[in-house]
Homo-oligomer: A and B are copies of this chain.
Amino acid sequence: MRPAERAQLALLLEVAATPTPGNVDRHRDHDDLRFAHLLAGAVGAGDGLEAAADGEPVGVAFERAVEGMAAAQSAGNTQFGALLLLVPLVRASADGAVTPDAVSSVVEATTVADAAAFCRAFEAVAVGLDEPPAALADVDVRQPQAAAAAVEDRRLTLAELMARSADVDGVAREWTTGFDRSFAAAERLRGGEGHLTDRAATAFLELLAAEPDPFVVKRHGVEAAERASEGARAVLAGEREADELAASLVQAGVNPGTTADLLAAGLYIALERGETV
């Protein structure tokens, strides 16, 4: 299996893992996002992931992956954040073993053109976007072409753009830390007992227990995100049923999307390191 195929499989195993409370999983659909959408998104992202493996620029590969993902199904954004982690990881794998140093090198090598392509990728999806942080007021991806022009004017590389969002965006933060939570997730997945999808569900809870989900913080505030993390800790401690937590998060419209992205990245790294199904 090639790196791009492993990345597709990581996307599929992430959504197959259950329960991942608050998110669509093997046993849960949302009204506006269903399991089949995520299967199709993973298929559609394939060409962009192959481009990353073939050494295409990270921005171009990411834009292609997002376009393919969006064209493959009708639910819009299914795996944007996961692909923003997977594309540099796959690119790193193309040059050798995937390590924090290798993916950091990929990040550091990104260019202004990569940043512009990243902005244009938003043309393909309605990610439910907020206003940009003040330091990026002119890089408003709700207007993708204008944002691309702005990063070109300001000569921002994709690494620099990510660094400016790292305090509010958990995926961007990975770009600034050598993907530390992604690699930590991979370590949790490696070599444990039981099937990989079951270990993935546990890793999801552990990721959520360890830190409030940044996507939930953005959407619902810090308190809601901390409550979700408390819920995950309670499930891991055997004090609460995962299904009950899932039901309460779904009812509140709380979906820990960044935690799912990190799990997909961790699954990819684990597969690259020899994990199998």
Residues of chain A at the chain B interface (Cβ within 8 Å): 1, 5, 8-9, 12-13, 16, 26-27, 34-37, 39-40, 43-44, 46, 71-74, 195-197, 276-277
In-complex Cβ contact of A46 among B13, B16, B44, B46 (8 A): B46
Secondary structure of the A contact surface, majority rule: helix
What are 16 pairs between A and B in contact, CB < 8 Å?
A1-B44, A1-B71, A5-B43, A5-B44, A8-B43, A9-B39, A9-B40, A12-B39, A12-B40, A16-B35, A16-B36, A16-B39, A34-B195, A40-B277, A46-B46, A74-B276
Q: Evaluate contact between A197 and B43: CB separation under 8 angstroms.
A: no
Query: In the complex the two chains form, is B74's CB within 8 Å of A9's CB?
Result: no
B71 in contact with A277 (CB, 8 Å)? no
Known pairs A12-B12, A13-B36, A74-B277. 13 more at Cβ < 8 A?
A5-B43, A5-B44, A5-B72, A9-B43, A12-B43, A26-B26, A26-B35, A34-B197, A37-B277, A39-B277, A72-B277, A73-B277, A74-B276
Distance in angstroms from A3 CB to nearest chain B CB is 12
- Cα A1 to Cα B34 in complex, Å, equals 19
Report A48 CB to chain B, min CB distance, Å.
12
Q: Is the CB of B13 within 8 A of A39?
A: yes
- When distances are taken between beta carbons in the complex, the residues of chain B under 8 Å from A74 are 276-277
A72 touches B1 (CB 8 A): yes
Chain B: minimal CB distance from A77 (Å): 15
Residues of B within 8 A of A73 (CB): 276-277
Q: How far is the CA of A8 from the CA of B234 in the complex (A)?
A: 39
B-side contacts of A5, CB under 8 Å: 43-44, 46, 72
A219 to B46 CA separation, bound complex (whole angstroms): 37
List the B side residues contacting A35 at CB < 8 Å.
Answer: 16, 26, 197
Q: How far is the CA of A44 from the CA of B276 in the complex (A)?
A: 13
